[in-house]
Structure 1
């Protein structure tokens, strides 16, 4: 079982890494190609929309075909679409195409990458749900959450290292690492029979229990995206740094958040083994504290402390909502639930950049204040939810026994 969990960890890490490798290279590439800054935002938004649309589809496919085939399709699609994206950029940089033709190709190939990434994320989460019981689910989802966090943190760092060679080299690395992950999954992840019945009940995002965890997931991902989108501007304005100094401070701050997330998730897996509701309650409180420290941070030490506290909060909330969503449905609906978690991530990535950037233009404190309010609402909501008795989702076997 440890081999399978390690393989799923690596799969999720590579999927998130592939997504984050693109973000740091797009602004300079857009300018090199003679396109507008708004075109970069359009590509990011459409890629996120593709993730949100395809996540539940891949989840349902994994319920019918099995988890391993969907993970393999995801990595094959990631590698191929990343190759096509790099080819379009290469053609544009060399003057082989430009204008509307180039922009259309970039949008299509970037959207393809976004469409295949949730295949890996949804199927991996569903597989982890298949192989764990209720008491183990929180720790198991913490493993995948740690992989998510590592991809979010190390993706931009690896991309920055490869840009020393050339702007397209992060993409070349993405092609190779997705191909390598394909073979790791092929060799190390056992095939498992699909768990869905012919007429399995559909999973609705509005059904009781599940909807709360999806809402908490949306709040968590909005918080994470806010730090990534607005953090650099805020740090530069608050600390009066140069562009180079800002990049260094933000990189170190994100690393602090990543370390905090990993430590929290290691502690959760090894020792605490808290249920989802407790992880969400504690995590949302730390998220509120982190945002408040950001609001008062006018020195380097406070800024780094804010990043670290934020990482602690996110480190508990991510596995909390993932495990909660998994436990809210039956065993044969794990793929569908994991797909809805992917929708939440895609929606957050679509709406957060433009919303928080607009709020920042009104007042630089507004994005952090909004995240603090949302996290506080999540804390109150999970305490209210904790008052209700937990009823485990029925499996197909349980339903048959009742009939």
Structure 2
């Protein structure tokens, strides 16, 4: 193995570790946020507003971090994101701690939670575009789907561990999983400091490549990505309410069962990304097309089901669909543009999930306040139209 191959192998391990740490942090938050919010006196829409505000921030700043990685380097931007996320999570958890102790009234707590989460998201947004652009830099065009799938798989490993470990730590307190996620993210950051190689500087470019969402090469993927993650966000933000209300659970019990369902969902996605995607020879957009009917079935089961087993099975099916859709979306965006535009396209592609998560939580929690099944029927309808869109679109790569 050449020195270059050894450096690339080390880089891939660090990128996968960073993705796993972020996957852990995200699933831990989704498992505990709903019961934790109710514990401090917040209602469903207010809890959804916390996620939506941070997701809007991610949407706005992710392209900036993607272009910055073209100029400052992938490694530097990745480190900013990892260390910044760790510091921001400590502040976010501290506000919840103060509210639980009675030092903050619900309205004050809501304002401070949004402020700290937005600050956290501003720097956290640096992780995904820099990691994906780094992976694009060290993989060939033929291996791009596999490389993006590996990052997705690593994120899903973290997503499996997050609910499993978080459910155990929630027995200590609902905030303990958040503090533990900080430890993991800091560990990934320090390893990146000492192990992650700095990529050779690209040829000097006066201005970083700038892409628009309306660029015809990626616009269809932008539409697909936003709708894809909007539906997924609706589920992630409301499934805890669904479990708690339908099964009559308290906050700790809800965190545990939601953790189990997210763990199975992530495990299903991981299986697809490790076993199925590498063996498929489909074009990236075709993976999106295949995933839509599977996830529509999951939404229907969530709307019609009334048992724990039905909800967990639906989450597993949803995970299978997302396991196909995620690599298809990221790889499709990457192969659509030139090598000089990888940072820019990674930023735009990385902004699509946050935009979906800006709309999804607010919309989902509002619909849930009207009727518990309504968010899932809405997601079903959205994916039906997305499926029709994918049938009309013909990709060339």
Distance across 2 between alignment mates of 1:166 and 1:295: 31
Paired position in structure 1 for 2:145: 138
Gapped runs of 5+ residues in structure 1? 391-403
Aligned residues: 387
Distance across 2 between alignment mates of 1:300 and 1:43: 27
Residues 86 and 63 (structure 1 numbering): CA distance in 2 closer, same or farther, change over 3 Å?
same
Indicate if the aligned counterparts of 1:16 and 1:148 stay in contact, CA closer than 8 A: yes
Paired position in structure 2 for 1:128: 135
1:184 aligns with 2:176: no
Gapped runs of 5+ residues in structure 2? 1-7
Paired position in structure 1 for 2:61: 54
Distance across 2 between alignment mates of 1:372 and 1:179: 38
Indicate if the aligned counterparts of 1:293 and 1:306 stay in contact, CA closer than 8 A: yes
Paired position in structure 2 for 1:215: 223
Paired position in structure 1 for 2:13: 6
Using the TM superposition, give the Cα deviation of residue 66 of structure 1 relative to its aligned residue in structure 2, in angstroms.
0.9
Q: What does the per-residue CA deviation read over 1:329-350, in whole Å, with 9 as the maximum and x for residues that have no partner?
A: 2212212211112221111222
1:325 aligns with 2:333: yes
Indicate if the aligned counterparts of 1:74 and 1:119 stay in contact, CA closer than 8 A: yes
Match 2:179 to one of 172, 180, 199: 172
Residues 260 and 156 (structure 1 numbering): CA distance in 2 closer, same or farther, change over 3 Å?
closer
Distance across 1 between alignment mates of 2:227 and 2:152: 15
Match 1:231 to one of 239, 242, 258: 239
Q: Secondary structure at the match of 1:202?
A: coil
Q: Secondary structure at the match of 2:231?
A: helix
Q: CA RMSD in A?
A: 3.0
Match 2:384 to one of 373, 376, 380: 376
Q: Secondary structure at the match of 1:21?
A: helix
More displaced stretch, 278-287 vs 297-306: 297-306
1:274 aligns with 2:259: no
More displaced stretch, 307-316 vs 272-281: 272-281
Q: Secondary structure at the match of 2:143?
A: helix
1:350 aligns with 2:358: yes
1:335 aligns with 2:343: yes
Residues 303 and 79 (structure 1 numbering): CA distance in 2 closer, same or farther, change over 3 Å?
closer
Indicate if the aligned counterparts of 1:140 and 1:269 stay in contact, CA closer than 8 A: no
Indicate if the aligned counterparts of 2:160 and 2:264 stay in contact, CA closer than 8 A: no
Residues 19 and 263 (structure 1 numbering): CA distance in 2 closer, same or farther, change over 3 Å?
closer
Distance across 2 between alignment mates of 1:34 and 1:249: 21
Taking structure 2 as the reference length, what is the TM-score of the superposition? 0.85
Using the TM superposition, give the Cα deviation of residue 261 of structure 1 relative to its aligned residue in structure 2, in angstroms.
0.4
Indicate if the aligned counterparts of 2:218 and 2:336 stay in contact, CA closer than 8 A: yes
Q: Secondary structure at the match of 1:209?
A: coil
Taking structure 1 as the reference length, what is the TM-score of the superposition? 0.84
Using the TM superposition, give the Cα deviation of residue 179 of structure 1 relative to its aligned residue in structure 2, in angstroms.
1.5
Residues 236 and 93 (structure 1 numbering): CA distance in 2 closer, same or farther, change over 3 Å?
closer
Indicate if the aligned counterparts of 1:284 and 1:375 stay in contact, CA closer than 8 A: yes
Paired position in structure 1 for 2:117: 110
Distance across 2 between alignment mates of 1:60 and 1:148: 23
Match 1:385 to one of 351, 372, 393: 393
Residues 42 and 359 (structure 1 numbering): CA distance in 2 closer, same or farther, change over 3 Å?
closer
Using the TM superposition, give the Cα deviation of residue 374 of structure 1 relative to its aligned residue in structure 2, in angstroms.
2.6
Q: What does the per-residue CA deviation read over 1:22-49, in whole Å, with 9 as the maximum and x for residues that have no partner?
A: 3444456556656676654443322222
Using the TM superposition, give the Cα deviation of residue 315 of structure 1 relative to its aligned residue in structure 2, in angstroms.
0.6
Indicate if the aligned counterparts of 1:63 and 1:194 stay in contact, CA closer than 8 A: no
Distance across 2 between alignment mates of 1:28 and 1:267: 35
